[in-house]
Amino acid sequence: MENKDSPRPIVIVGSSGHAKVIIDMVNLQGGCHIVGLLDRFREKGTEALGYPILGKEEDLAELIAREKVEGVIIAIGDNFVRKTVAEQIKASHPSIRFPHVVHPRATVADGVMIGEGSVVMAGAVVNPGAAVGNFCMVNTNASLDHDSILEDYASLAPGVNVGGGCRIGRTSAIGIGAAVIHGITIGDDAIIGAGAVVVTSIPPRVVAYGSPAKEVRARIAGKKYL
């Protein structure tokens, strides 16, 4: 996000612990003013994480008109749910912006492209030639090495290490502390378990874990994993 003399008003979708981290990142980075939170599971008019609950996603039109909201950050950890919410908001409000957020203590190489709505958290490293798609998460102390691609809606959990020249498919999630060696492809909607060591490519829509990681079962896109 660019710093401006007048901070841009935004809303955060979500009010969980994940939202707490993103709120801290937004405030550290500057350039935006958080008007409040949207969360369909909390009562409008209550408070969470020090901010008012302004309603749910369907109330965004009113907030755009009343509060001049310019941007939305979707603080939802589940990749498929984040994708669903993003697509719904984009369809209803095509002019709304989805700023990406990079923690001041993350290291992102010059020229790295970070897509809209993505977050790169404290201690994360994104090396030269890598690319982070739209609405991705690069979590605390995770790394994406040179020339690797994190496709839209995918996530790296805390402490994940991805080698160079890898491709992590859309909506896939790499579990906490996992390692992916150089040159690996992980298909769309795959889940890699915590602490796994991935030494061969993983097909789409499977769950894999272990050292070395092995496919243990198929999964349906959107099935809960958090």
Pairing of strands 113-114, 51-52: unpaired
13: Cβ–Cβ under 8 A, 6 or more apart, which residues?
37, 38, 39, 57, 72, 73, 74, 75, 76, 85, 89
Measured distance CA(71)–CA(78) in Å, rounded: 20
Indicate which residue of 18, 93, 100, 146 is catalytic.
146
Is 182 considered catalytic here?
Answer: no
DSSP 136-160: -EE-TT-EE-TT-EE-TT-EE-TT-
Instruction: Look up residue 171 and give its two tokens.
Output: 């909506």
Helix (H, G, I), strand (E, B) or coil at 97: strand
Cis peptide before 212 (omega within 30 of 0): yes
Helix (H) or strand (E) holding 27: helix 17-29
Point out which residues pair with 34 in neighbouring strands. 10
Greatest Cα-to-Cα distance within the chain, rounded to the nearest angstrom: 54
Helix (H, G, I), strand (E, B) or coil at 119: strand
Please identify every residue annotated as catalytic.
146
